[in-house]
Every structure is written in C-alpha cells, then in structure tokens.
Amino acid sequence: MYDAILERLLDGSTPPGSSLGIDSLARELEVSPTPVREALVQLEHTGLISRVALKGYRVAAPLSSEQLAELFDMRTILETAAVERAVSQVDDLVPELRAAHARQVLCAHRVRKLRGADGRPTDFSDLREYFAADWEFHLTIIRASGNRFLLKTAESLSAHVHRLRQTADHGTTDLEQAVDEHAAILAAFESGDPERPLVAMREHLAAVARRVSAAG
C-alpha cells in the first residue's frame, strides 16, 4: 500500500493540496482501510503528506527553495564524507558501482522508450525503478564508507529525495545528465586517484541542485 500510494504522489495524479481519504483509497485499491491507514502514517513521516485535524490527510506542498538548499547542503556534507572514506575500499567498491550504474543505464533506457509526446514516461512503475536505481548508485558508495551512521542518515534522507523529485517535474528532466554524471563518478573511482571521486561527486550534486532550481 505504501508503494501504491507513493506512486500516486509522485506521478502527478494527486497534486499538492489534494485530499487523501482512507475509505476512498481503500475502495480504489480494493483493500481494507487498515493497510491504507498504516501506509498513510508511514508516508506522513516522509513529509510527502500531512495530517490535518478533522480533515484527514493531504498531499504536502513541494519543497521550498530554502528546503531544497538545505537538502543539497546536507547531501553534499554526507556524500562527500562517504566518498572520502570509500576510496580506501576502491577494489571492492568499483565492481559493485559498475553493476549499480549498469542497472541505472538499463532503467533509463526503459524510461526513454516509454516517453509520450510530452516527453514524460507513460508507465510510472518504470520511472520508479529508475529512481531506485539512481539512489542505489549513491547508497553503494555510502555503504562502502563503512560508517553505519552515514548510511542510516542517508536512508533517512530517501523520503526527502522523493520530495525532491516531486518538486522537479517528477525527476524526469535530468535523466540523461544524471546517468552521464554517475559514469563520471565511476570513472573517477576507477582512476585510482583519491581526489577525483570527491570532485566528481561535488560536481554532480551541484549540477542536480542547479537543474532542480531551474525546474522550480
């Protein structure tokens, strides 16, 4: 239920401010109200929805420009720290990072094939798989840092990354650029130069921030 409702939040079918009724969602999804209620409680913690007294749940507004700046500041602090620690594990990391990037490339290819006349994907399940593959590339590096608290913090940010995509035209506008920038990060790790991955990650996050600001 969590994934089913999340898909509605991110594919544009339930825009910010929309009501989310437990009973109506249960009828549409053909389930009892209990799992819907539980999913909405989980989603409230992500910030994607909010509970309004006596009115139920509503889809939250997209991240503000100030919130976006804070999110990218946090990601830059966290992910550059992870890169600095992961370079010592480059022999183990590179094969896993290659696999993660290959999956992202495949998912990006599927999304491109499903784009409609307006340039947006016509099947959100493939787009959701692409989002997961994109984030998994980053998590692969963070796991290689060997710091469980960095990883736990990154996992807690995943919901806010969902909100970032909600803000930036559902995350479809920078698919090609993100794939290319991840390839540059992979090449930097493959080079054996401990400084290049740090530079590549900083450039990637800065580029994503610029694209999100332009889209907003």
> Which one has a higher pLDDT value, 36 or 160?
36
Q: Domain limits of the chain? A: 2-59, 65-215
Average pLDDT over residues 65-91: 94
CATH code reported for the domain at 65-215: 1.20.120.530
Average pLDDT over residues 132-155: 95
Lowest mean pLDDT among 17-31, 90-104, 185-199: 17-31
The per-residue pLDDT for 126 is: 74
Amino acid 164 reads: L
| 3-class DSSP state of 20 | strand
The per-residue pLDDT for 170 is: 47
CATH class of 2-59: mainly alpha
| 122 secondary structure, DSSP code | S
Q: Is the pLDDT of residue 171 over 50?
A: no
The per-residue pLDDT for 141 is: 98
| 63 secondary structure, DSSP code | P
The per-residue pLDDT for 120 is: 61
The DSSP line for the chain is -HHHHHHHHHSSSS-TT-EE-HHHHHHHHTS-HHHHHHHHHHHHHHTSEEEETTTEEEEPPPPPHHHHHHHHHHHHHHHHHHHHHHGGGHHHHHHHHHHHHHHHHHHHHHHHHTB-TTSSBS-HHHHHHHHHHHHHHHHHHHHHTT-HHHHHHHHHHHHHHHHHHHHTGGGTTTHHHHHHHHHHHHHHHHH--SSHHHHHHHHHHHHHHHHHHHH-
Q: Is the pLDDT of residue 55 over 60?
A: yes
| 3-class DSSP state of 51 | strand
Distance (Å, rounded) from C-alpha 143 to C-alpha 152? 10
Task: List the Cα angle 130/136/138 in 5-degree steps.
Answer: 115
Count the neighbouring beta carbons within 10 Å of the beta carbon of residue 140. 18
The per-residue pLDDT for 166 is: 59
Distance (Å, rounded) from C-alpha 30 to C-alpha 12? 21
The per-residue pLDDT for 30 is: 93
> Which one has a higher pLDDT value, 8 or 202?
202
46's tokens: 């992500």
Distance (Å, rounded) from C-alpha 29 to C-alpha 157? 28
